[in-house]
Structure 1
Amino acid sequence: ELPENWTDTRETLLEGMLFSLKYMGMTLVEQPKGEELSAAAVKRIVATAKASGKKLQKVTLKVSPRGIVLNDSGTNELIENVSIYRISYCTADKIHDKVFAYIAQNQLNENLECHAFLCTKRKMAQAVTLTVAQAFKIAFEFWQAAKEEKEKRERSILEGEGTSSPSSEAPAHPDASAATGNLLDLEDPAKSPLTSSTNSPHVDNSMFGPSSSVNNNVVWEMDDGLDEAFSRLAQSRTNPHVLDTGLTAQDIQSAETLSPVDWNKIDSNTGEKDDLFMF
């Protein structure tokens, strides 16, 4: 269920919401979701972090419908860029209640990885979880629109081929692809969210959101590999258009008491200690 201020949240999410956290580490998991699965993974990550005795890395986590972008807070160096379509689960851990964790499929080897982050408060962990879930909802809407538009184009091409002479069949496919271009590219952080083609001059690259249309229908296109990955993950979800989270209704209500703009300001002046041994 979405908060009452969802419209405001949506606008903020399109630009990307920033959270200052501490990266605890990653471990491989066998399944794409599950509270017990993620709890066991977080337990392993916490134990490894404690055993290392090292200070946790301060990071900035940017959440948008494109996915999660992780940067080192000190150097601003890119650590991780994971597409929202590869994220299958996120949660505020029940035992280590200041820990936010998500499970995602690795882009290179397709392993399922659980990444964990230390937050300043439980409410912060809940807020990050809710934000990722809401970003997923927007991304799913974009994906559905792209899928429907792609199917409509393919039907149109097939119908056109059925009535065309052989000599006119060849340009049908290039024209169809040129009309949309690859408008949704979520894999490469260096690319802008939208890439317009020469036949789509009205695409606004300044914000993550479709502004190009064909017959009043928003046009989106995505990489086939991503499409397949997202389809597989969607099938494993309890409700395909909602990202599974470990949040209860009470958790969500607690996180919603904060304005989205304030979510990343919780206890920003907290001391430097990592609290790893205070769990």
Structure 2
Amino acid sequence: LPENWTDTRETLLEGMLFSLKYMGMTLVEQPKGEELSAAAVKRIVATAKASGKKLQKVTLKVSPRGIVLNDSGTNELIENVSIYRISYCTADKIHDKVFAYIAQNQLNENLECHAFLCTKRKMAQAVTLTVAQAFKIAFELWQAAKEEKEKRERSMLEGEGPSSPSSEAPVHPDASAATGNLLDLEDPAKSPLTSSANSPHLDNSMFGPSSSVNNNVVWEMDDGLDEAFSRLAQSRTNPHVLDTGLTAQDIQSAETLSPVDWNKIDPTTGEKDDLFMF
């Protein structure tokens, strides 16, 4: 990712918002691939056009915890996808204003491709880059907390006990508190892994030091997610990098669009009928 994207880390921890239009979802056979996602987007576009309906306006919130999708009008929660379940995202090459991601459904484990219409191609690229950067930060926090857990276990085996100052020193300043919450990502109403002590809401406190988080308990409760992310990370060429369909030229193009401009609607295209925009 471009160097200047590291400047967005703090904003990403809080969550970046994008105003998009939801086009729909289709099942896919593989977790990633440019041709795979292009074919999926083609199906979604065809279905959306055939329906003749206006596309649903949504707010997409991207953070290291994942993607949260809300209806722009009612603010109703539509989808809450853990970052660890996202295996691919891209700005489509043919339908150039379309952002799409592939993720594993929490309930039935199906692989789903979701597509969104953006106001311009640069915005689709920017959303893709943001998701990739969020994954990178999440992986770093997960890795730091994993190392801290192993270090603490070694200390206990050596008879030093958890009260030893050396065993309590975090590998990363925010690793214990931040990752404890990062791992607790699923919908609390659906997941038995979620602790009632952890708020399901996305807020700034989720990513700051917190004495109320017992990291041992969080790790024990989230071993399933930990294992899933570990497998997902190990299966990738570069574990800390989320696969995207972006080229170096795409990334350079997205860089020219400042975060403050991402949600500005292009007056020449913003009011056009949805069906003519893709």
**TM-score normalised by L of structure 2:** 0.80
> Secondary structure, in 3 states, of the residue corresponding to 1:55?
coil
Post-superposition offset of 1:243: 0.4
Tell me if structure 2 keeps the 8 A contact 1:182–1:220. no
Rate the CA distance shift 1:199–1:12 in 2: closer, same or farther, 3 A. closer
Tell me if structure 2 keeps the 8 A contact 1:22–1:57. yes
> Following the alignment from structure 2 to structure 1, what is the Cα–Cα distance between the partners of residues 274 and 39?
19
Rate the CA distance shift 1:27–1:167 in 2: closer, same or farther, 3 A. closer
Tell me if structure 1 keeps the 8 A contact 2:141–2:179. no
**TM-score normalised by L of structure 1:** 0.80
Other-structure match for 1:156: 155
Rate the CA distance shift 1:87–1:6 in 2: closer, same or farther, 3 A. same
> Following the alignment from structure 1 to structure 2, what is the Cα–Cα distance between the partners of residues 249 and 174?
33
> Following the alignment from structure 1 to structure 2, what is the Cα–Cα distance between the partners of residues 269 and 140?
39
Rate the CA distance shift 1:274–1:224 in 2: closer, same or farther, 3 A. farther
Rate the CA distance shift 1:252–1:10 in 2: closer, same or farther, 3 A. same
Greater Rg, structure 1 or structure 2?
1
> Following the alignment from structure 2 to structure 1, what is the Cα–Cα distance between the partners of residues 189 and 233?
27
Tell me if structure 2 keeps the 8 A contact 1:90–1:103. yes
Post-superposition offset of 1:270: 4.5
Deviation larger for 259-268 or 93-102: 259-268
Rate the CA distance shift 1:201–1:237 in 2: closer, same or farther, 3 A. closer
Q: Which runs of 4+ in 1 moved over 4 A?
A: 161-184, 189-205, 209-222
> Following the alignment from structure 1 to structure 2, what is the Cα–Cα distance between the partners of residues 256 and 84?
23
Deviation larger for 207-216 or 106-115: 207-216
Tell me if structure 1 keeps the 8 A contact 2:162–2:168. no
> Following the alignment from structure 1 to structure 2, what is the Cα–Cα distance between the partners of residues 153 and 118?
46
Deviation larger for 200-209 or 229-238: 200-209
Tell me if structure 2 keeps the 8 A contact 1:62–1:70. yes
Rate the CA distance shift 1:193–1:147 in 2: closer, same or farther, 3 A. farther
Rate the CA distance shift 1:108–1:92 in 2: closer, same or farther, 3 A. same
> Following the alignment from structure 1 to structure 2, what is the Cα–Cα distance between the partners of residues 31 and 8?
33
Rate the CA distance shift 1:248–1:20 in 2: closer, same or farther, 3 A. same
Post-superposition offset of 1:109: 1.3
> Following the alignment from structure 1 to structure 2, what is the Cα–Cα distance between the partners of residues 170 and 211?
15
Tell me if structure 1 keeps the 8 A contact 2:269–2:277. no
> Following the alignment from structure 1 to structure 2, what is the Cα–Cα distance between the partners of residues 54 and 201?
33
Tell me if structure 1 keeps the 8 A contact 2:23–2:117. yes
> Following the alignment from structure 1 to structure 2, what is the Cα–Cα distance between the partners of residues 249 and 108?
36
Tell me if structure 2 keeps the 8 A contact 1:60–1:70. yes
Rate the CA distance shift 1:218–1:13 in 2: closer, same or farther, 3 A. farther
Deviation larger for 267-276 or 18-27: 267-276
> Following the alignment from structure 1 to structure 2, what is the Cα–Cα distance between the partners of residues 150 and 215?
12
Rate the CA distance shift 1:197–1:42 in 2: closer, same or farther, 3 A. closer
> Following the alignment from structure 2 to structure 1, what is the Cα–Cα distance between the partners of residues 206 and 228?
25
Rate the CA distance shift 1:244–1:174 in 2: closer, same or farther, 3 A. closer
Could you say what the CA RMSD is over the residues aligned between the two structures, in angstroms? 6.4
Rate the CA distance shift 1:110–1:172 in 2: closer, same or farther, 3 A. same
> Following the alignment from structure 2 to structure 1, what is the Cα–Cα distance between the partners of residues 174 and 97?
52
Tell me if structure 1 keeps the 8 A contact 2:177–2:209. no
User: Alignment identity in percent?
Assistant: 97
Tell me if structure 2 keeps the 8 A contact 1:91–1:129. yes
Deviation larger for 167-176 or 43-52: 167-176
Post-superposition offset of 1:43: 0.6
Count of residues in correspondence between the two structures: 278
Q: Deviations over 1:78-132 (max 9, x none)?
A: 0000011111100000001010000011111111110000111111100100110
Post-superposition offset of 1:230: 1.2
Deviation larger for 206-215 or 27-36: 206-215
Post-superposition offset of 1:262: 2.5
Q: Deviations over 1:34-70 (max 9, x none)?
A: 0001001101111111111111100000011111000
Rate the CA distance shift 1:194–1:142 in 2: closer, same or farther, 3 A. farther
Tell me if structure 2 keeps the 8 A contact 1:178–1:198. no
Tell me if structure 1 keeps the 8 A contact 2:142–2:179. no
Give structure 2 stretches of 5+ with no counterpart: none
Deviation larger for 170-179 or 85-94: 170-179
Rate the CA distance shift 1:253–1:220 in 2: closer, same or farther, 3 A. farther
Post-superposition offset of 1:209: 4.3
